[in-house]
Homo-oligomer: A and B are copies of this chain.
């Protein structure tokens, strides 16, 4: 699937383009967190953290629910599947490159091994009368 105009992809990739937001998602992957818990490791104001969380919410990657006066955030990873699906199409291109590199290195190894063998292997070891 190569869906260029999917509006989710815009929002998801945009949300993931920031290291703070990626770190927030990672922290949410181990447990749900309050907004202030998400803000703490970045020494960030609640307003600053909330701004990032809003971007994550807009992308559908985080859900926020209110318990009393506390805002609790949970990871919604499903939307990332779309992004990974989009990237999957391009695997063939980077895998090709890696295969090419591997082929090249193997060809070099074979050439070196053949070169090393050639010197002592020239003399015939076949005894008269032996059968293959």
Contacts and interface: CB of A to CB of B under 8 A. Distances in A.
B17 A4 contact: no
B22 A18 contact: no
B97 A91 contact: no
Interface in A69-104: 74-78, 80-81, 83-84, 86-91, 93-94, 97, 104
Task: Determine chain A's interface SS by DSSP, over half rule.
Answer: helix
A89 B14 contact: no
A44 interface: no
Given A4-B22, A9-B22, A14-B13, A88 B84 contact: yes
What bracket does the count of chain A residues touching chain B fall in? 35 or more
B87 A87 contact: yes
Contacts of A17: 9-11, 13-14, 17
Interface of A: 2, 4-6, 9-11, 13-14, 16-19, 22-23, 25-26, 29, 74-78, 80-81, 83-84, 86-91, 93-94, 97, 104
